[in-house]
A and B are shown apart, each in its own frame.
Chain A
Amino acid sequence: MKPTIYLDNSATTPVAEAVVEAMLPHWRSTYGNPSSLHEAGMAARRAMEASRAEVAGCLGASPEEIVFTSGATEANNLAILGTALAAGETGHIVTTAIEHHAVLHTAQWLESRGIETTVLDVDSTGRVDPSQVRDAIRDDTILVSVMAGNNEIGTIQPLEAIGEICRQRGIPLHTDAVQAYGKVPIPIDAIDMLSVSAHKLHGPKGAGFLFLRKGVRIVPLVHGGGHERGVRSGTENVPGIVGLAAATHLAFEERDEVTDRMRGFRERLISAIEAIPGTRLNGHRTETLPHITNFSFQGIEGESLIMRLDERGISASTGSACSSPDLEASHVLVAIGVPLSMAHGSLRISTGRQTTADEIETFLEVLPEVVEGLRAISPFKVGD
C-alpha cells in the first residue's frame, strides 16, 4: 500500500503497536480454550478475565457486566433484539433518526415482527432534546436507544438527561458508544446497555462488547455452550479480547493528550475549510466528538471528492449517494436538514491518535485545489 494520510478513523483505525504486541502471545502460546480446565485453558481464561476487568474498570462497570461480542453491530443487535425477545416481541422502542444502521435497521426489522418504533427527529445540529424522549415514551415502551456520539457528524447526545427520564419510567437505555468510547466521558450511571467496537479504537476488527447492567434482562441470540454467562455462546476470541482491552487501556491512559490534539485539529480544519466559499459545517460546533469533522461543498459530489483526494494520497469518506450501494444520500445528513445537493457533496474527516499536524496541513493544502478542480467541471457554480 502506498503511503497515505489516513483521515478516515471513524471507519476504522490502524491497530496500535502496543495492541499488536499484547495480542501476539495469545495466538502463539496462550492458545487454550478458556473453557478448558487444563493449564492452557486456564491461562487463556486468566488473560480474558484480566481483559474484562480492564474494560470494566475504564467504563466504571463491574466485570460481570461486560459481554464480549464480535463487535458493535452484534452488541447493538443483542441489546435491541435481546430486549424485544425478553418482552415477548411486543411493545414499543424509541430511537433516533441518526442512529447507525446497526441500530436503525434492527429496530425497523422488529417493526415487521409487530414491535412499534418511534424514530425521533433531531435538530439541525443532530441533537435530540431529552423532552422528545419523555414525550415519546409510552406505557408499553420496552427500550430507548440513543447513540452517544454520531459517526458521521460527531454530534454527542445529552445521555445523562435522557437516562434520568428513562430511569424514572423504568425503561432501559441503550447507547451505541462506538465513536464516543475512549473519546468523551460517558455517564455510565445513566445507561443500562452500551455497545463498543475495538477496531474504532486502534484495536482489532472482530472484537467488541456489550455493557449489560446487572438486572437488565435480555434473551440471548446465539445459543450454545453458555459462554459469557449464557448471554453469548461461542468460544471467546481471546486474542481479540486482549486486543480490545489493550486498546481500551491505551485510549483511557492517553485520552486527554490525544483528544486535546484532536480538538486542535478540528478547530484548524473548521477555520480553514470555512474560508473556502460554498462550504457548510455539518454537526454541532461544540457538543461534538473531537475526532470527526464533516463539511459539505457546494457544486461537487462526494465520491468524486474522495477519489480525487485518494489520488493525492489522502483517505477520507463521504455521505454521498454515489458512494453507497443503495444510491441514497446519508440518512444522517438528510435528518439534520442538509439540502440534497449539499448532502451529496459531503466530506467526513476523522482523525486518530496517529494523526499529525503536518498531515492536517498537507490535507488543507490539497483540499482547495481538489475542490476547485471539481467545481470547474460542475454545472453548479458557487453562489448559484
Chain B
Amino acid sequence: MTNVYTERVIEHFRKPHNMGKLDDYSAIGKVGNMVCGDVMWLYIKVDQDDRGRDVISNISWETFGCTAAIATSSMVSDLAKGKTLKEAIEITNRDVAEELGGLPPVKMHCSALAADALNEAIYEYLEQNDREIPETLARRHERVVKEVAELEKRYESFLKDEPGTGPAAENATPCS
C-alpha cells in the first residue's frame, strides 16, 4: 500500500517544507483526530501588504500522521504561503491532492485534513480580529466542528486520556 504514493508525495515526505511550530503566529488551525491517527496543527502569520490586504506572510505546521498526512501538510503550506486570505480561502483539498500528483483513494482524507487545517486557521484569525467571515468559510467550519462532535461521541470510550482530543482538539476533523 505504501508504495503507491506518487514521487511528489515522497519528495514532500522526505523533505517537508515549512515544518515546525511558528513562534509568532497569528492563528492556528487544529484538525484531525487520534482515532484515525492523523492530527495536524497549522500555524499562520498574517500581515498587511502595502495595499492593506491580509496576507499569509508565514506558515508552518506540526503533524502526527502518515506519509500522506505529512506530504499534504507540506503542500498546503506551500500553496498558502504569500497568498492573501481571500486567495487562500479558495484552496481546496482537490488542489492539494492534484499538486501532489494524486493520492491513493484510502488517503484522500489527508488532503481534506490539510485544506481543513488552513480553513480553520483562517477562520480563527478572522474571528479573533472581528472580521467578516465569508459564508463558505463559516460553512466549512461548521462541518468540521460537527464531524468532530460526532466522531468523539462515537469513540468516547476510546478517546479518554488521548492526546489531541478533548478540549484541546475542539476543531479536529474525523477521518473519512
Contact = CB atoms under 8 A, between A and B. Distances in A.
A304 B13 contact: yes
Contacts of A320: 37, 66
Interface in B77-134: 106-107
A278 B67 CA distance: 21
Nearest to B175: A327
B69 interface: yes
B106 A301 contact: no
Tell me which of A306, A325, A340 has the highest count of chain B C-beta atoms within 10 A of its own C-beta.
A340
Contacts, number: 88
Given A321-B36, A379-B41, A341 B2 contact: no
16 contacts: A301-B64, A306-B2, A307-B66, A321-B37, A322-B38, A322-B65, A323-B2, A323-B66, A325-B106, A327-B175, A341-B34, A341-B163, A377-B19, A377-B70, A379-B39, A379-B62
Interface stretch (B47-55, B136-144, B145-153, B154-162): B154-162
B57 to A, nearest CB: 21
Interface in A338-384: 339-341, 344, 376-380, 384
A310 B10 CA distance: 12
Interface residues of B, number: 35
A65 interface: no
A384 B19 CA distance: 20
A78 interface: no
B22 interface: no
Report whether over half of chain B's contact residues are helix, strand or loop; otherwise say mixed: mixed
Contact of A327 (B36, B62, B164): B36
A324 to B, nearest CB: 8
A8 B39 CA distance: 27
Interface residues of A, number: 26
A323 B175 CA distance: 14
A365 B13 CA distance: 21
A341 B35 CA distance: 8
B2 A303 contact: yes
Tell me which of B36, B40, B68 has the highest count of chain A C-beta atoms within 10 A of its own C-beta.
B36
A384 B34 CA distance: 14
A344 B37 contact: yes
A306 B5 CA distance: 14
A301 B163 CA distance: 13
Contacts of B66: 301, 303-304, 307, 320, 322-323
A377 B158 CA distance: 25
B72 interface: no
Tell me which of A300, A306, A339 has the highest count of chain B C-beta atoms within 10 A of its own C-beta.
A339
Contacts of B161: 339
Contacts of A344: 34, 37, 64
Tell me which of A376, A377, A384 has the highest count of chain B C-beta atoms within 10 A of its own C-beta.
A377
Nearest to A344: B37
A299 interface: yes
B64 A380 contact: yes
B29 to A, nearest CB: 12
Contacts of A376: 19-20
Tell me which of A301, A325, A384 has the highest count of chain B C-beta atoms within 10 A of its own C-beta.
A301
